[in-house]
Structure 1
Amino acid sequence: MHGTRTRHRRLPTAKPLALAAAAALGLALTPALTTPASAVTPTAVSVPGTFNSEIGCTGDWAPDCSQAQLTPRTDGSGAWSRTYTLPAGSYAYKAAINKSWAENYGAKGQSYGADIPLHIPAGGRSVTFVYDPVTHWITDDVNSRIVTAGGSFQSEIGCSSDWAPDCLKSWLKDIDGDGTYTWSTEAIPAGSYSVKAAVGQSWNESYGQSGSPTGDNIDFTVPETGSTVDFRYNSTTHVLSVQTEEPPGPALDGTLGALYTPTQTTFRIWSPDTSQVSVTVGGQTHTLRPADVAGYTDVYQAVVPGNWKNQPYQFRVGSNNVRDPYARMVKPGTTEGIVMDVDAIEPTGGWAPTPAITKREDAVIYEMNVRNFTIDPSSGVDAARRGKFAGLTQTGTTHNGVKTGIDHLKELGVTHVQLLPSYDFNSTVPNWGYDPLNYNVPEEQFSQYTAPEDRVREFKNMVNEFHKNGIRVLMDVVYNHTASKDVFQNITGKYYHQTQLSGTGNSIDDSNPMVSRMILDSLEYWVDTYNIDGFRFDLIGVHQYKNVDQWAKYLQAAFPDRTLQIHGEPWSGGVDDPQEAQKVRYGTTPAIAGGHVGVFNGTYRDAIKGGTRDQNLGYMGGSSSNASSIALGMRGSPLATKSTSPLSDPWAPAFAYDPEQTINYVSAHDDLNIWDKITYSGVTGGPTGRAGQMNRFAVGMVLTSQGIPFFHEGDEFLHSKVVNGDYEAAKNSYESGDHVNAIQWSEKSANNATFRYYKDAIALRKSTPGLRLATWEAVKNQMNTTINGSVVTSAISSNAAAPTGYDTVVVYNPTTNPSSVSMPAGNWKKVLDSNGATDSTSTTADPLAVTVFKKS
C-alpha cells in the first residue's frame, strides 16, 4: 500500500456515539437530532474526523479539540478556514459547531449528513478546510477546489482590494458536487468590470477568456445597482461565465409556486432545511433567496424578468431536482412545472352561474370515476371523449333507447357529482388515482389534449357544462398521503408523518403549519380557479380536526355565496393513531360544524347492510337486533345534547351537530358495491325478486333519512363488478380493468325498474321538506320516531311552528310481512312503496321496503 493506511470510521454518520448512547437509554435530547440549529453566527467551528490524532488531538472525532478548530476569516466573508499538513491515509471528517455534536454538517452541507471522505496520497500534503456558515458547506482543497472570482469589483463588495484571489467574499461553491461552482450577488454597483477565476486563493492557477490559463480578463457590465450577477465556473473546461439580470419589479403578493405576469414570474418554494435553492427556466438557473411572504415561513424566492408563459421550470433544493408542490401544470413524467396564466383561460363561452342550492341537506350526491362513466362504447360518447373530462358532459347520448352520460344524471335527479381523484396522479388508468403527485394539476390521462392551456380549459369546460345542466361538482382529494415519499421528501422530510397513518407509508403531516397552509391553498385554488363546489376528503381522519375546521371556515367565508360541500372519511388507514383525540372522528365532528364539514356515516352504513366485504346483511337482511341503530341513523345521528365540544368517545354513533354532518350511504367505490354485496351474501331472486327488492330497500333508507344521501355510479341500475364469479376482485377494484369497473349502459335498460325506483325516491326527497330537516332542533322537535319490533317509523313535521303537525310518515320494514301503520289524524296517501312512486290510500307498509306517506 506504499505506506498508506486506511483509517476506519469511528462514528456513525447519523449521530455521534455519545448521543446515540443517550438515545438508546431513552434520554431526552434537545434539539431533535434531525433538526438543524438556527442560522446564527457560530462562536467556533471545528473539523472533527479520523485525522484528529494526527494533528495533535488526544483522540479522533474530537469537536472540542483546540487543534481541530478553524479560524474565522478576516476578509468579511464570514467563512472559517485552516490549513493542516496531513500524512498519507484515508480519512473522514465533518464540521461541528460550537465545539459539540449538537449542530454538525457533513457531505453537501447537510445537517447530520454523511461523513466526508478525504484521501491523502503517499508523502502527505497540506489541506485547507473551509466552512461557510450560510450554506453550511464544509469542504477541502483535496476533494474540491477553492475558487474565487477575482476582479476589479471586489473592493465594491467589501474586500480589502480588487483582484484579491484570497478574499472569500466572492467564493464560488460546488455544494452538490456536480463540478460547477457558482456564486450570485446583488452587491456590485452599476458599472463595467473585469474578472478571472482564481483557484487555491492565489493567482498561481487562474483562468480567463475561454478557460485559458493565459486568457484575457473576462469583461462584464452591471446595468443597474441591485442587478443580480451570476458567476459559474466549470471545473472541467475551466470556463468562467458571468450573467447579469436587471433588477425585477416587486414580487407578487400571493402564495407559492410560479406566479406569472407578462413581464416577470415570481418563483417561490418552502425550504426549511437548506438555503441551497434554485430554479431553472429558459435554460438559465436562478438562485432563490429568503423571502418574507405573509402567512408563510422559510420561503425562498426568485423574480425572473421576461414573459415565461407556458414555459417549463425546474426547482432544485440541495442537490436534487424537486417538483413544485404548488405547480398549476406539469410536464408529465417529470418534476418540471409549467408557468401558467390559469386565470386568463376561460371556459368556452364564459362561466355560467353555479346551480343554486338552499341548504346542504338538499344535496343528492352521485360518486363517479371520470374514466368508468363513459369509457365503454355503450355510453354513446364520441370515441375521442370517452374516459375524458369532456366525455362526462357530452349531451344527447343514448344506448338502446335510454339516456346515458350527463343526460342520465339529469333524468335521475342528482344535485352533485363527486369525481374520484382527477388531479395529477402516479398510476396509469384504469386506476382510481389515489396516489397523488401534483395536487393542483388536472390529470393528463383524463384529457384529450397535450397543450397545457387546452388541458386547463377542458377541465373548466367540464365543470361549467355540469353547472349549465344544473349539477354541482365535488372533487375527491387525497391530502393525507402522496404516491411515495419521493414526491416531497427531497424538498424536506417535514411534509411527512413519522407514523404512517394512511396505511401507504407516506402520510402527510398537516400538524406542520406550512403543510396545513399548502392544503388550504390547494383547496382555495380549485374553488377559485376551477369553480369546484366542494370536496370529499380521502381519509380525513388522518388530519387534525382543528386544521380541517380552519380550512373549511376559511373557504366558507371566502366564498360565502357558494354553499360549499365538504365531507370525508373520519378514520385513518387501519392503524392506531397516537394523536387520535386530535383527529377527525365521529367524536370530533361536532367541533367542525362551524365550517359545515360532514363525515361518512359508516355506523349507519353497517347497520343497514352489515359489513362491507362479508355476508352479514344487517337490517336490510331482516335483522331486528339493530333497529335502534337504524332509528338513530334515520334521524341523522344527532347528538344527545347539542354542543360543539368533542365527545369523549371518538366513535360515538350520535355525533351530528347538524343533519348536514352525516353523509348517508350503503355503497361507494371501496369494497363491494350494494348489488354485489347482496348477491355475495347469497340473496336470490335477481333484479325482480328479493335481491332487487333488498337493493331498493337499502337505498330507500339512504334517500329518506335526515342528512345528505350519497350513492355510487351504477347502483341505480344494479351495476356489478363481479366478472366470472370473482368477488375478491370486486371487493377492491381500484386497479382492475374496464371489464370490471366501466359502466355498462346496457344494464340501465335491463334494470330499468330499479332505475325508476331511484329516480322516484330522489324526486320524492326533493319535493318533501320533512325529509330534509336542516337543524338539530328540527330533528328533536319535529320528528317522532318509534320502534315496533324491527319496524322503525318516523312521523315528521316540516313546519317548525307546528312541530307535531306531522305531514310525512316514513316506515322501514325489514320483515317478510306487511306492517299496518297507525297514521296521525288527517287524510294520508302512500307515495312510495317497494316499487317506487305510488298513489294509494292504503296504510300498509310493504315488507322489505321503505314506505312513505304524505298528508293530502
Structure 2
Amino acid sequence: MTASPAVEVLPGSPTPLGAHWDGTGTNFALWSAGAHAVDLCLFDADGTEHRHRLTESTHQIWHGRVGGIGPGQRYGYRVHGPYEPSAGQRYNPAKLLLDPYARAVDGELRLDPALFGHPVDAVDSPVPDGQDSAPSVPRGVVVHDTFPWDGDRALRTSWSDTVIYEVHVKGATMRHPGVPAQLRGTYAGLAHPAFVEHLQSLGVTAVELLPVHSFVSEPHLLRRGLTNYWGYNTLGFFAPHAGYSASGSSGGQVTEFKTMVKALHAAGIEVILDVVYNHTAEGDQTGPTLSLKGIDNAGYYRVDGANPARYTDFTGCGNTLDVRRSPVLALLMDSLRYWVTEMHVDGFRFDLAPALARSTEDFDRFSGFFDVVHQDPVVSQVKLIAEPWDVGPGGYQVGNFPPPWTEWNAAYRDTVRDVWSGAHVGVRDLAYRLTGSSDLYRSDGRRPFASINFVTAHDGFTLRDLVTYQDKRNEANGEENRDGESHNRGWNCGVEGETDDVAVTALRRRQVRNLLGTLLLSTGVPMLTAGDELGRTQRGNNNAYCQDTELSWLDWSQVDEELRAFVAHVLALRRSAPVLRQEAFFEGHELPGTGGTRDLAWFAPDGKQLTTTDWFDTGLQTIGMYLDGRGIRARDALGRPVVDDSYLIWLHAGAEPVTLELPAAPWADGYELVVSTEYATGAPPATAVVAPSPVELPGRCVWVLKVLRRP
C-alpha cells in the first residue's frame, strides 16, 4: 500500500448499494451495522493499493463518491470493528473484502494463511490474524456497459412446453471440436452455433446453468490440488464467474454473458440460473474471511445463539445466510432482480431452497422470503424452481413449497429408478409420477408442471453410469470414496463397470432408452442432464464436484448418435402431442360421447383396467397408460377446446416378454407403434399398425401406441 493520493471523497449517496459510475465518478455504498469505520481500497493496474476512509454512514450504510474513478477500476473494502468471535464479531481490517454487490470480479483466490481472519493454528483466538490478505484474494471491478439488447426480452415459454437441459458452462464445450479453441469452456462457447444447434436439434427449450455467480474453491480442495468445478461456493451474487469468460476479468465477462443470453434467446432457448443464496464460500469458523464475514459476520450469517463463535449450518457447507434479516433479504432480491432486468435471464433454480425459508429451525411455507418473492413485480414473473431439501431438521420438503413454485421432484427420480432397476415396488407410485404427481402438488392448487421430473442431475451418476455401476468410484476426489451417495437405486445389468460383453452392452443401452423414454413421456416438466443424450460416462464417479477435467467435460468424440436421435424423436412426439404435456391434472372420468373412454385409464396386460388388487401388487412390472386426446382440459388462444390424438403407453420392466391384450373399441379400432425402446433410435423401422388383438411386448421395453379410430 502507498499513501493515498490527494483524492477527495465526497459524501455520495447510500443508494444504490455497490459501485455505480455516473459518467464522471463512482459512488460506493456498503452495508455494515456494526462497523466502526470502513476504508475503500482502490488498486492501480500494478496492484498498488490506495485507501480512502468513508466518513459518511446513513442507516448503517457507509458511502462516498470518488471523482475520476470509472469502469475497470479494481476495488475492495477493509472494515474496522471489534474482533470478538465469541460474540459473533469478526472485523479485521487486515483482510481485503469483496463488495457483495460487485458486478464483476478480478483475480483468483490463492491459498495462503493470510486468507483467514484468525491465526491458522488457533481458530478461537481472541486475537485476529494480522497478515494482509490483499495479494491473495479477488477484487471487485467497477462496471458500466450499454449492451445493445436490440429488443431482446424474456421468452416466457409456457411451463407445459418447457424442456430443461441442465448444463455446466465450461463442461459443455471444453472438448467440442466445432467450437473455436479460444471459446471453449466459456459463455461465448455456449452461445456458439455448434452448441446451440445441438440444443435445437434435441428440442430443448431452456438451459439450466450450473452456478455462474462468481465463486472460489474451498481451501481443503486447494490443499489437495483440486478445485470446485460445479461452482456451489458463491463469493459474489452479482458478478458472472470470470473463469467462464473468453474476455478476461476486466468486466468483459458481463458483456459476454449478455451476448450468450441474447444468442440463446434468438434460438428460442430460455436461460435459467442455478443460484446459491443459502451459504457462501467463507464456510464455518475455520474458513477464510473474504467478504461478508469481515463486513458484518453476525449481520449476514446465522450464528449459533448458544455459541456465536459457531454457525447454524442448514446447508452442510459451514454457514447459512440469515435471510430473516432485511439487509440480507434485500441483497438476495436485489441480485435476483439484477439478473432478470440487466442480464435478461428467464428463471432460477434455488439450491437447498428450504434453508431460505427457515424462520427459526423449521421450514416455514409462510416465511418472509416467500412473501417478498411472491409480491415482487419482477422476480415473481420468471420461472422459480426449488431444490426442496437441505440438511436441516425436516429438510426433505418435496411437495411442500407454495404456489407458484415448481420443484425438483426427487420422488419422481427415485420411483423411476426403482422400477427400471428391477426393484419390486409395483406400479402404484409410478402412476402418480407419470401423470404429474398429483399426490404432491394438487392439494395447494398447483398444476402438473410444478413437478420438474428428472432421473439424473449433475449430482450423482450419469445415466450411462447408472446402468453400469452399482458402486460409486470417487477415489479421485481424495476422500477415500466416502463422499457421494451410496444408495443409487440403479442396476449394472449384471456386470460391474464397463464390459465388452455384447449382450450386457445392448441391455444397458436399452435401459438408458427406457429411463429417458419414461422421463420424456411423463406429464410435468422433463429435465435432461447434459451428456446423458450422448452416452456420457464419469467412470463411476457420482460426486464429480471437484473434477475440472475431461472426466466431467462432455466428450464430443464419443457421441452415441443413435441415442441422440432417440431423444430427439421422443421430444418431437412430446412437442406435437398436447396430451403428453397436460396443463391440468387428469380426472379419470368418462368422456361424454366417446362410448365410455376416460381421459386417463390404466390397463393390465390382460387388456382390463387395473383393479385395486393390481394397484397394491408389488410384483406387477407392466402397466398401460391410456391418454385420451379428447379429454384435454385446456383451450387455445381463441378459446376453442384443445383436442389431440390419443395414445396408449406401455412400460414393461420385466426381463421376459409379455403378451398384451390391446383394448378394443371404444378405446381404439387399431394402433400405430410410434416409439419403441427396442430400437436404437426409438423409431420402428416401418409403420407398424396392429389390431386390438394379442401382441408380444419385448422384455424391458417402452411402447408408445397411437390410437387409430375409424372415421
Query: After TM superposition, is the score higher than 0.5?
Result: yes
Structure 2 residue 581 is the aligned partner of structure 1 residue 772: yes
Deviation at 1:631, TM superposition (A): 0.9
User: Who is 2:397 aligned against?
Assistant: 585
Q: Which amino acid aligns with 2:650?
A: V
Q: Is the 8 A contact 1:773 1:779 kept in 2?
A: no
User: Who is 1:26 aligned against?
Assistant: none
What's the secondary structure of 1:489's corresponding residue? helix
What's the secondary structure of 2:438's corresponding residue? coil
Q: Is the 8 A contact 1:623 1:814 kept in 2?
A: no
Structure 2 residue 210 is the aligned partner of structure 1 residue 420: yes
Deviation at 1:301, TM superposition (A): 2.4
User: Who is 1:691 aligned against?
Assistant: 508
Aligned residue among 293, 310, 325 for 2:72: 310
Q: Which amino acid aligns with 2:657?
A: N
Distance 1:179 1:641 in 2: 61
TM-score by length of 2: 0.72
Structure 2 residue 247 is the aligned partner of structure 1 residue 449: yes
Q: Indicate how the Cα distance of structure 1 residues 809 and 517 shifts in structure 2: closer, same or farther if over 3 A, else same.
A: farther
Deviations 1:716-735 (A, max 9, x none): 1211111xxxx3xx121111
Deviations 1:441-473 (A, max 9, x none): 111111112253422111111111111122111
Deviation at 1:337, TM superposition (A): 1.7
- What is the root-mean-square deviation in Å for CA atoms of aligned residues? 3.1
User: Who is 1:558 aligned against?
Assistant: 378
Q: Which amino acid aligns with 1:440?
A: F
User: Who is 2:449 aligned against?
Assistant: 660
Correspondence list, 1:539-558, <5 A: 539-544=352-357, 545=365, 546-550=367-371, 552-554=373-375, 557-558=377-378
Deviations 1:608-666 (A, max 9, x none): 11xxxxxxxx210333424111111111111379443xxxxxxxxxxx83212111111
User: Who is 1:630 aligned against?
Assistant: 430
Distance 1:484 1:445 in 2: 19
Aligned residue among 167, 181, 200 for 1:368: 167
Distance 1:512 1:354 in 2: 31
TM-score by length of 1: 0.61
Q: Which amino acid aligns with 1:604?
A: Y
Aligned residue among 647, 653, 661 for 1:814: 653
Aligned residue among 506, 510, 530 for 2:319: 506
Q: Which amino acid aligns with 1:830?
A: L
Deviation at 1:284, TM superposition (A): 5.5
Q: Is the 8 A contact 1:346 1:460 kept in 2?
A: no
User: Who is 1:6 aligned against?
Assistant: none
Select the structure of larger CA radius of gyration. Answer: 1
Q: Indicate how the Cα distance of structure 1 residues 276 and 626 shifts in structure 2: closer, same or farther if over 3 A, else same.
A: farther
Q: Indicate how the Cα distance of structure 1 residues 312 and 687 shifts in structure 2: closer, same or farther if over 3 A, else same.
A: farther
User: Who is 2:461 aligned against?
Assistant: 672
User: Who is 2:201 aligned against?
Assistant: 411
The structure whose residues are more often strand, as a share, is 1
What's the secondary structure of 1:703's corresponding residue? helix
Structure 2 residue 385 is the aligned partner of structure 1 residue 567: yes
Deviation at 1:352, TM superposition (A): 3.5
Q: Is the 8 A contact 1:417 1:472 kept in 2?
A: yes
What's the secondary structure of 1:841's corresponding residue? strand
User: Who is 2:301 aligned against?
Assistant: 496
User: Who is 1:535 aligned against?
Assistant: 348
User: Who is 1:142 aligned against?
Assistant: none
User: Who is 2:306 aligned against?
Assistant: none
Deviation at 1:275, TM superposition (A): 4.1
Structure 2 residue 670 is the aligned partner of structure 1 residue 830: no
What's the secondary structure of 2:329's corresponding residue? helix
Distance 1:284 1:686 in 2: 70
User: Who is 1:206 aligned against?
Assistant: none
Q: Is the 8 A contact 2:313 2:392 kept in 1?
A: no
What's the secondary structure of 1:696's corresponding residue? helix
Q: Is the 8 A contact 2:340 2:378 kept in 1?
A: no
Distance 2:319 2:184 in 1: 33
User: Who is 2:439 aligned against?
Assistant: 639
Q: Indicate how the Cα distance of structure 1 residues 694 and 819 shifts in structure 2: closer, same or farther if over 3 A, else same.
A: farther
Distance 2:178 2:313 in 1: 43
What's the secondary structure of 2:321's corresponding residue? coil
Q: Is the 8 A contact 1:635 1:779 kept in 2?
A: no
Distance 1:330 1:407 in 2: 31
Deviation at 1:785, TM superposition (A): 3.9
User: Who is 2:703 aligned against?
Assistant: 851
Q: Indicate how the Cα distance of structure 1 residues 434 and 805 shifts in structure 2: closer, same or farther if over 3 A, else same.
A: closer
User: Who is 2:409 aligned against?
Assistant: 601
User: Who is 1:471 aligned against?
Assistant: 269
Give the aligned length: 559
Q: Which amino acid aligns with 1:822?
A: P
Deviation at 1:677, TM superposition (A): 1.2
User: Who is 2:617 aligned against?
Assistant: none
Structure 2 residue 125 is the aligned partner of structure 1 residue 273: no
Deviation at 1:694, TM superposition (A): 0.8
Q: Which amino acid aligns with 1:569?
A: E
Aligned residue among 741, 744, 768 for 2:552: 741
Distance 2:182 2:198 in 1: 20
User: Who is 2:569 aligned against?
Assistant: 760
Distance 1:747 1:499 in 2: 45
Deviation at 1:314, TM superposition (A): 2.3
Q: Is the 8 A contact 2:441 2:447 kept in 1?
A: no
Point out which structure has higher relative CO (alpha carbons under 8 A, 6+ apart): 2
Q: Is the 8 A contact 2:584 2:633 kept in 1?
A: no
Deviations 1:349-387 (A, max 9, x none): x45454452x212111111111211112x5321110111
What's the secondary structure of 1:851's corresponding residue? strand
Q: Structure 1 vs Structure 2: percent identity of aligned residues?
A: 27
Q: Which amino acid aligns with 1:337?
A: G
Deviation at 1:511, TM superposition (A): 2.3
User: Who is 1:323 aligned against?
Assistant: 98
Q: Which amino acid aligns with 2:257?
A: F
Aligned residue among 345, 349, 352 for 2:147: 345
Deviation at 1:739, TM superposition (A): 2.7
Unpaired stretches in structure 1, ≥5 consecutive residues: 1-177, 181-231, 233-240, 293-297, 398-404, 610-617, 645-655
Deviation at 1:549, TM superposition (A): 2.8
Distance 2:352 2:669 in 1: 47
Q: Indicate how the Cα distance of structure 1 residues 717 and 501 shifts in structure 2: closer, same or farther if over 3 A, else same.
A: same
Q: Is the 8 A contact 1:831 1:854 kept in 2?
A: yes
